[in-house]
Amino acid sequence: MARLIAFLVGLGFCLVLLVSVITGAVSFARDGKPVTAEKLFHKHPRSAGLSSDGPMGKFDRAQLQRGFQVYKEVCSGCHSLKYVSFRNLADLGYSEAEVKAIAEQWAVQTPSVNPETGEPATRKNLASDRFPTPYPNEVAARAANNNALPPDLSLMAKARHDGSNYIYSLLTGYQDQPAELLKKFPDVKTPDGLYYNPYFANLNIAMPPPIASDDQVAYADGTKATVDQMAKDVSAFLTWTAEPKLENRHSTGLAVMIFLICFTVLAYMSYQNIWADKKGAAVAG
């Protein structure tokens, strides 16, 4: 009788515990984090379909040069590339003379002062110099951008999840707020000075649409400069700035995989050859 009572008590305890767990799970599902506009309307990046995607991806040099042209003519006015040197552009297919000419198009301030004007003296960049920042300091950058600080783009493709596709989606994702969003969340109307973009974390971004219309850039190779094309090209370029050795990494990875496969096959064949007689002798014994 005592065992039966103990069993019933234990069973009741287990049932109470199970009910508590289920009730807690249901309560958490209902009363957990509130449903927000960001949860419902934030979108995952769309695929840009870049040639560098995938484990065997390679850069398209022509696309990288077009992307650099978009950065130079559209993005460089606000965003820096402080971890990239002008001489690195040789990897895009530019000659030494072309790299030198590109570097000289940017001026860099020096510690000295122009004795005639009293302004900081400037000099032409060398190929060994890194891309200069468009603003002298953070205060000036915020003052020129409605108190928003334009981020450096050198590592942006690695700093954001699915970076290449994120950049492409963000550049092509500007739109009016959906009527459904305003219906469900009437208090989250995009504030003045911000722009609705479903690919940005909180849906509203301070940066105006940088690529606003077709033919904003006249490509040197004659490619039609649509908004979509320019967004893909600059995304490819920023993928390169973040991972300039991507092709080497892919090639090394392939060589390592081939080596490991060959090593595994040889190791297995050696195992079979060395232990075949031992196994036979053990069975016979």
Residue 79 annotated as part of some ligand binding site? yes
Residue 122 CB: number of other CB atoms within 10 A? 14
Residue 161 is assigned to a ligand binding site:
no
Q: What distance lies between CA 119 and its chain's CA centroid?
A: 38
Q: Give the closest residue to 54 by CA, choosing from 253, 260, 255, 237.
A: 253
> CB neighbours of 90 closer than 8 A, spacing ≥ 6?
96, 99
Cα 62 to Cα 78: distance, rounded to the nearest angstrom: 24
The pairing of strands 120-124 and 195-196 is unpaired
Task: Provide CB contacts within 8 A for 177, sequence distance 6+.
Answer: 189, 190, 196
Cα–chain-centroid distance for residue 34?
28
> Among residues 188, 181, 163, which one has the least CA distance to residue 241?
163
Q: Is 206:193 a contact under the CB 8 Å cutoff? A: yes
Tokens of 248: 């080497």
Which amino acid is residue 285, in one-letter code?
G
Cα–Cα distance between 126 and 132 in angstroms, integer?
A: 11
Rounded to the nearest 5 percent, the helix, strand and coil shares of the chain are 50, 5, 40
> In whole angstroms, what separates CA 174 from the centre of its chain?
18
**Can you tell me the distance from the alpha carbon of 216 to that of 229, in angstroms, rounded to the nearest whole number?**
11
Residue 157 one-letter amino acid: A
- Which residues are annotated as part of the binding site for heme c? 75, 78-79, 207
Q: Which residues are annotated as a binding site?
A: 75, 78-79, 207
